[in-house]
Amino acid sequence: MVYQSLYRKSIDEKEKFWKEQSERIPWFTEPQTILSVNEQGFYRWFTDGRCNISYACLDWQIEQGRGSQVALIYDSPVANKKEKISYDELATRVARFAHGLQSLGIGKGDTVVVYMPMIPEAVISMLACARIGAIHSVVFGGFAPHELAMRIDDAKPVAIISASYGIEFDKKIPYKPLVDQALREAVHQPAHRIFVQREPGYDKLEKKGEYDFDNLQTFEESEAVPMLSTDPLYILYTSGTTGKPKGIVRDHGGYATALAFSMKHVYDAHAGDVFWAASDVGWVVGHSYIVYGPLLAGCTTVLYEGKPVRTPDAGAFWRVISEYGVNVFFTAPTAIRAIRKEDHEAALLSPYKLSSLRYLFLAGERCDPATFHWAREILQVPVIDHWWQTESGWPMLGIMMGVEPLPVKAGSAGLPVCGFDIRIISEDGAPLPPGREGLVTVRLPLPPGCLPTLWKNDERFIAGYLSQVEGHYLTGDGGYYDEDGYFFIMGRVDDVINVSGHRLSTGEMEELVATHPAVAESAVVGIADELRGQRPVALVVMKDGRQETEVQLEQELVSLIREKIGAVAFFRNVLLVKRLPKTRSGKILRKTIRQIADGDAYTIPSTIDDPVILQEITGRLKEREIGRIGEKNVSGN
């Protein structure tokens, strides 16, 4: 009953529990107030504590004797580079760059956008901002300039830190033209633009306010600035239901406490261990478990600039695990599916010894049972699906391996993690019994580490998360729990989809599709994809009198989404239809379209305006061989 008793304590005696956990991190001023409510009625953790997460990740580790231990391993099959950086060296490089930022007048409360590939300077930039109290906002390098521009206009950064290029397989993707294009689109103009030169002189840095990253790494070093626990550490934009991304805010003290707790209790990772999250610094997984979590715990973290396959082959992950003695590995199910597709028999694993590996953690999307079983069989270690989101910052469901290695169930994201009081609630707000699918909510207060609000947008925070179920945080996911208390997360209940573990908004895609002059109306839905989990498909009704063919419109819309959101959206198909299926009140039946495409059983809603249109859609999907269409189990009500 170790898990049960610890979990109960985290819910029933939350202040005592989190006060004890906060003692895992170094404070300049220890918090006396553990949990409080601010003037907007939002919960806050450790309001009077002062700390600095960059100090906790670096200086404090060195004080404990870890200066010569490797803090960060950079492994890049695409740049053909490997580098091991000790805590001493990382601290120096961070403190020097922090000083460089300060020399530009950047300091506490300023925002800084980081648009970088997976190189050590990305980590250094984040830690340097945190050190001087500047709020970083990392934008995933796979996003197009339009996405970057929206984030610039919302975060209003004083500086952008970027690099000459990212590398996708064998292709260089120059970043400066993307930054320049974003700045042409953005209204807000940051005073400083800093570029890491991956090859000397790659970018022409001639304009006022443009700097070479290395020239800002002076010999002078900056000390960590004491921050209030509740001061913002970063803003991380994530997709919502509209075209405008949501700026998730994270604080210093609550986040550090939660991450330190999770490293030990969820991941069973300890000082000296090698921890590898094969994600990207542009996502929350990268923030929490490439950068801050492992360093806070005194681990060695791996920064891998490559893919699970084709860099150079499907044995890449196994090579990294064996080469560096990775103890805890975290990736997305998509990555495992990509490996399984190319190397079903795991022949590429046999040259490597993976004896260091203790666990494989999976998140980002639901892990289908087939992937779960395959990974467990080939790796012979516990495979743990765990569920969380940008908003939570750390896992909400999982098996807490550092507490009690309880059994896992294939297809389930596990049990509630300490601090999260997870509930399943019906659309009208009633709690549901085991086996009944409903909205997944968390009873307030959320534990430390979760979003305190959205960046300069309390109203959207309340409207999007707090207003549907009184006293609960709405996660946006649907699911159920079984008689043993295991939860099953079945997918989003809103317009958010997960493509290769990348969170994207079909609402945003629909808004973009609507800008095409030939489009009268459209519905973009996420359909099941064997490799990527989901991918978007658009159904379009064309304006009368337009001459475009389906092929032509498809090409134009595919280019539009690629140009505005990025190739990662994997938007490939547009279907012309005469009408969209709607209820009599005009609501588009997106869920029914998705069910048809996925070959799932569906019920024809009694409120449907014209059921015949569903047959047309089924026919069109079949004709184009899109989705897994089946007409079985269709019923009316």
Q: Using CB under 6 A as the criterion, which residues of the chain lie in contact with ligand AMP when the complex forms?
A: 238, 283-284, 363-366, 385-390, 413, 475-477, 489, 492, 498, 503
Which of ligand AMP, ligand COA, none does residue 111 bind to, with CB < 5 to 8 Å depending on kind? none
Q: How far is the CB of 136 from ligand AMP (least distance, A)?
A: 18
The CA dihedral of 403, 407, 409, 412, to the nearest 10 degrees, is -10
- Most distant CA pair in the chain, distance: 74
Tally Cβ neighbours within 10 Å of residue 37. Answer: 12
Q: How far is the CB of 213 from ligand COA (least distance, A)?
A: 19
Residue tagged 């958010």 (tokens): 496
The encoded tokens of residue 511 equal: 């808004």
Q: For ligand COA, give the closer residue by CB, 61 or 238.
A: 238
Q: For ligand AMP, give the closer residue by CB, 56 or 363.
A: 363
Which of ligand AMP, ligand COA, none does residue 142 bind to, with CB < 5 to 8 Å depending on kind? ligand COA
Counting contacts by CB under 6 A, is residue 293 touching ligand COA?
Answer: no
Which of ligand COA, ligand AMP, none does residue 567 bind to, with CB < 5 to 8 Å depending on kind? ligand COA
Phi, psi (5° rounding) for residue 290?
-100, -40
Q: How far is the CB of 456 from ligand AMP (least distance, A)?
A: 20
Q: For ligand COA, give the closer residue by CB, 289 or 602.
A: 289
Counting contacts by CB under 6 A, is residue 320 touching ligand COA?
Answer: no
Residues numbered 542 to 581 that lie near ligand COA (CB under 6 A) are 567-568, 570
- Interface residue with ligand COA among 500, 573, 592, 595 (CB under 6 A) is 500
Alpha-carbon span 256 to 274, nearest angstrom: 19
The encoded tokens of residue 389 equal: 């989101």
Phi, psi (5° rounding) for residue 214?
-60, -35
Counting contacts by CB under 6 A, is residue 334 touching ligand COA?
Answer: yes
Q: How far is the CB of 398 from ligand AMP (least distance, A)?
A: 8
- Interface residue with ligand COA among 26, 120, 166, 293 (CB under 6 A) is 166
Which of ligand COA, ligand AMP, none does residue 251 bind to, with CB < 5 to 8 Å depending on kind? none
Which of ligand AMP, ligand COA, none does residue 124 bind to, with CB < 5 to 8 Å depending on kind? none
Q: How far is the CB of 238 from ligand AMP (least distance, A)?
A: 5
Alpha-carbon span 413 to 411, nearest angstrom: 7
Residues numbered 201 to 230 that lie near ligand COA (CB under 6 A) are none
Report strand pairing: 397-398 vs 415-416. Answer: antiparallel
Q: Left (φ > 0), alpha (ψ -120 to 50) or beta: where does 606 sit?
A: alpha
Report strand pairing: 438-443 vs 472-481. Answer: antiparallel
Q: 386 with 420: CB under 8 angstroms?
A: no
Going by C-alpha positions, the residue among 422, 436, 437, 427 that lies closest to residue 469 is 427
Q: For ligand AMP, give the closer residue by CB, 365 or 554.
A: 365
Q: How far is the CB of 289 from ligand AMP (least distance, A)?
A: 11
Q: How far is the CB of 571 from ligand AMP (least distance, A)?
A: 18
Residues 6+ apart with CB under 8 A from 264: 24, 270, 297, 402
Collapsed DSSP state (helix, strand, coil) of residue 411: coil
Counting contacts by CB under 6 A, is residue 504 touching ligand COA?
Answer: no
Core vs surface per residue 364-378: b (16+ CB within 10 A) or e: bbbbbeebbebbeeb
- Interface residue with ligand COA among 232, 247, 308, 449 (CB under 6 A) is 308
What amino acid occupies position 228? Answer: L
Q: How far is the CB of 362 from ligand AMP (least distance, A)?
A: 7
Cα angle for residues 490, 243, 362 (degrees, 5° grid): 35
Residue tagged 């922090």 (tokens): 98
Q: Which residues would be at the binding site for ligand COA (CB under 6 A)?
A: 141-142, 166, 168, 173, 278-279, 283, 285, 307-309, 331-332, 334-335, 338, 364, 500-501, 531-532, 567-568, 570
